[in-house]
């Protein structure tokens, strides 16, 4: 599958915007985002694996998963889905709660049909953690997740 990537780290340091073009129909790209068996193949930084626990893909539904780092550390995660419009849009919130990693952000993802190909646009909007004196302090999270196949596009 041929892809074209673009990521913007120069704008608001709390926002990571990624655009990726795929040479496949958007229904296929949407399925890769919404089926746990596909998510297990690409979600997370390079070298990580994931284990999905509950996966309830509907508004107010929750996806709980563990990202297993190459160093042996496990990262508990929770995503709450806010909006799902098949095959056009997914909006979700990551984090929240003492039982998951402290990184919190909300993310709209859109899937645009561009003549049988797909443009996926991901906009990770972080909450204010760590954005005190250093307005660029959100950048380490992107470098940490820079190997993501879809996420940090």
What is the pLDDT at residue 127?
64
DSSP letters spanning 30-75: HHHHH-HHHHHHH-SSTT-EEEEEEE--STT-EEEEEEE-TTS-EE
**Domain segments of the chain: what residues?**
3-145
Domain spanning 3-145 has what CATH number?
3.30.530.20
> Do residues 82 and 59 lie in contact, with contact meaning Cβ atoms separated by under 8 Å?
yes
Q: Which residues pair with 38 in a beta bridge?
A: none
What is the average pLDDT score of the chain? 79
**pLDDT, tens digit, 9 for 90 and up, residues 15-61:** 888 899 999 999 999 999 999 999 998 888 889 999 998 899 999 99
């Amino acid at each position: 599958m041929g892809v074209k990537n673009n990521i913007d780290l120069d704008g608001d340091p709390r926002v990571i915007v990624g655009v990726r073009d795929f040479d496949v129909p958007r229904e296929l790209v949407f399925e890769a985002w919404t089926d746990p068996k596909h998510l297990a193949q690409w979600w997370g930084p390079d070298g990580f694996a994931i284990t999905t626990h509950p996966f309830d893909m509907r508004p107010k539904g929750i996806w709980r998963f563990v990202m297993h780092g190459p160093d042996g550390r496990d990262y508990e995660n929770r995503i709450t889905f806010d909006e799902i419009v098949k095959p056009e849009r997914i909006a979700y919130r990551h984090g929240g709660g003492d039982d998951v990693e402290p990184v919190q952000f909300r993310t709209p993802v859109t899937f645009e049909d561009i003549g049988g190909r797909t443009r996926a646009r991901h906009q990770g909007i972080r909450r204010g953690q760590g954005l005190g004196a250093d307005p660029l302090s959100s950048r380490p999270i992107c470098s940490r997740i820079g190997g993501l196949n879809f996420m940090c596009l």
